[in-house]
Amino acid sequence: MKKRVGVVFGGRSVEHEVSVITGLQVIENIDKSKYEVIPIYIDKDGKWLIGDSLSKFENFKNKDFKGVKEVVVVPNYNNRKVYLHPEKTSLFSKKILETLDVIFPAVHGTNGEDGTLQGLFELMNIPYVGGSVLASSVGMDKVMMKSVFKSYELPMVDYIWFYRNRWEDKEKLIEEIEKTLGYPVFVKPANLGSSIGISKAKNREDLIKAVEVAIRYDRKIIVEKGVEKPREINCSVIGYDDRLKTSVCEEPVGWEELLSFEDKYIKSNTKGTKNGRRIIPANIPDDIRVKIEELAKRAFMAIDCRGIARIDFLLDDKNNIYVNEINTMPGSIAYYLWEPKGISFKELIDELIEIAIKSYEEKNKNMYSYDVNLFNKIDFQNKCGKM
């Protein structure tokens, strides 16, 4: 019998459109002989919708959705059902529309990649692809991520972070940044991806503008020291616990200072050539590649990740390696990094679903009840006073 896979995409995030593309890519490439796909779209208002028309990209371009129904999922333990929205049915006739075996989340950014959606799936006790609540939230928050990486002694560039309200005394903060980091620096919202809200500052005027942009997107801001003549090298990791394997490395090219949203999602990707946006595999010495692969695994395990993630590195002109960030599911499926190793997108999706089921089975070996008959051993009235 085919497993019923709910692919969840969209969401209330500035990365909504990217998420739709990721979700539709998964739906297009999943093995239909093994899985029955249920598209679950979260619109920009936060409504959950299902319907066959949600599996076609043209319908999103034309905003033409036929037969779409608003639904809810209930966070009850071992509940795997998708119900018609209560307003569409009577109180005593909750209509079950779908029953799911596993969930493939493809919601980028806020309210999806940050552990919130994963928390819902944990309450439902349903297998889901990608990192846990902890791994997702730590991987999303660049400040927490770097704190964890620091404890694992992973090499990183120097940085400063602050809350939005500190910008009210901007002169003091600017002086601290200039004294500690100098220029150039990169200014980033702590909890966003896809290069949104990120700027490079070469002087004080740039810095002020960069922070003013970043604080529109997040209350936590991180400022990182710029690397001289940097090369970006990325590597993907798949697996769980210490059973990990790495992809080939890539080098994004054609960028001078920062990969923009357009660079990442609109411009073409050509493998193995500088005429495209990536060189795959990256043209780096074997010893550097081996170090990057090892650091990628260490970063993956540092946040207790599972499923798949892409770890981004910076390489300076002296071949010093710095861990820049980890992009957990669904921030990066990075299927193009696995194809050179003979793993197709379809096979990658299949492996991710298998990991989700195995880690789910492993989690459910844990004991969640400890009966000590506590209620009968405590005199509540005398202990706590009368209600």
Q: Are 216 and 174 in contact (CB under 8 A)?
A: no
17-37 pLDDT, tens digit per residue, is 999 999 999 999 999 999 999
What pLDDT was estimated at residue 195? 67
Inside any domain, residue 133: no
CB atoms within 10 A of CB 317: 10
Residues 241 and 342 in one domain: yes
Residues 78 and 199 in one domain: no
Does 57 score more than 70 pLDDT?
Answer: yes
Inside any domain, residue 34: yes
Does 322 score more than 90 pLDDT?
Answer: yes
- Distance between CA 21 and CA 194 in Å, rounded? 13
80-89 pLDDT, tens digit per residue, is 999 989 888 7
Which segments of the chain does DSSP mark as H helices, in order?
16-29, 57-62, 116-124, 133-140, 142-151, 170-180, 204-214, 261-265, 286-302, 345-363, 380-384
Residues 112 and 8 in one domain: yes
Residues 13 and 119 in one domain: yes
Where does the pLDDT of residue 249 fall: very low under 50, low under 70, confident under 90, or very high at 90 and above?
very high
Q: Which two tokens stand for residue 8?
A: 């969840």
What pLDDT was estimated at residue 261? 43
- Distance between CA 290 and CA 94 in Å, rounded? 55
Q: Is 312 annotated as a binding residue?
A: yes
Q: Which two tokens stand for residue 93?
A: 């006739």
Query: At what angle are helices 116-124 and 133-140 packed, to 10 degrees?
Result: 180
CA 74 to each of CA 8, 85, 155, 187, 331: distance values in angstroms, whole numbers, following the listed order: 15, 11, 43, 39, 25
CATH number at residue 177: 3.30.1490.20
Q: Where are the beta strands (DSSP E) in the chain?
A: 3-10, 35-42, 48-50, 69-73, 81-84, 96-99, 102-105, 159-163, 185-189, 199-201, 220-225, 231-240, 243-252, 278-279, 306-315, 321-328
Which of 202, 225, 248 finishes a domain? Answer: 225
Stronger pLDDT, 94 or 335, i.e. the higher one: 335
Stronger pLDDT, 118 or 379, i.e. the higher one: 118
Determine if residue 182 is left, alpha or beta; phi over 0 gives left, psi from -120 to 50 gives alpha, anything else beta. Answer: left
Identify whether 330 is preceded by a cis peptide bond (ω within 30 of 0).
yes
Residues 247 and 350 in one domain: yes
Q: Is 228 annotated as a binding residue?
A: yes
What pLDDT was estimated at residue 128? 97
Which residue type, as a one-letter code, is found at position 117?
L
Give the pLDDT mean for 98-111.
Answer: 93
Q: Are 322 and 156 in contact (CB under 8 A)?
A: yes
170-213 pLDDT, tens digit per residue, is 999 999 999 999 999 999 999 875 567 899 999 999 999 999 99
Residue in 104, 100, 134 with CA at minimum distance from that of residue 119? 134
Residues 106 and 214 in one domain: no
Q: Three-state DSSP class for 86?
A: helix
Q: Is 225 annotated as a binding residue?
A: yes
Residues 219 and 295 in one domain: no
Q: Is 247 annotated as a binding residue?
A: no
What pLDDT was estimated at residue 270? 41
Length, in residues, of the chain: 387
Residues 208 and 247 in one domain: no
Q: Is 186 annotated as a binding residue?
A: yes
Residues 92 and 191 in one domain: no
Rg (CA), the chain: 23
Which of 225, 245, 260 finishes a domain? Answer: 225
What pLDDT was estimated at residue 38? 96
Domain extent, residue 180, equals 158-225
Q: Which residues belong to the active site?
A: 15, 194, 332
Q: Is 188 annotated as a binding residue?
A: yes
Which of 167, 200, 225 finishes a domain? Answer: 225
Chain center to CA of 44? 18
- Distance between CA 71 and CA 98 in Å, rounded? 10
What pLDDT was estimated at residue 211? 96
Residue in 54, 26, 57 with CA at minimum distance from that of residue 39? 54
CATH number at residue 116: 3.40.50.20
What pLDDT was estimated at residue 386? 54
Residues 195 and 236 in one domain: no
Residues 338 and 290 in one domain: yes
Kindly give the pairing relationship between strand 96-99 and strand 81-84.
antiparallel
Q: Which two tokens stand for residue 87?
A: 């307003």
Please count the structural domains in the chain.
Answer: 3
What pLDDT was estimated at residue 380? 64
266-288 pLDDT, tens digit per residue, is 444 444 444 358 899 999 999 99
Q: Is 257 annotated as a binding residue?
A: no
Residues 102 and 16 in one domain: yes
CATH number at residue 238: 3.30.470.20
Q: Is 57 annotated as a binding residue?
A: no
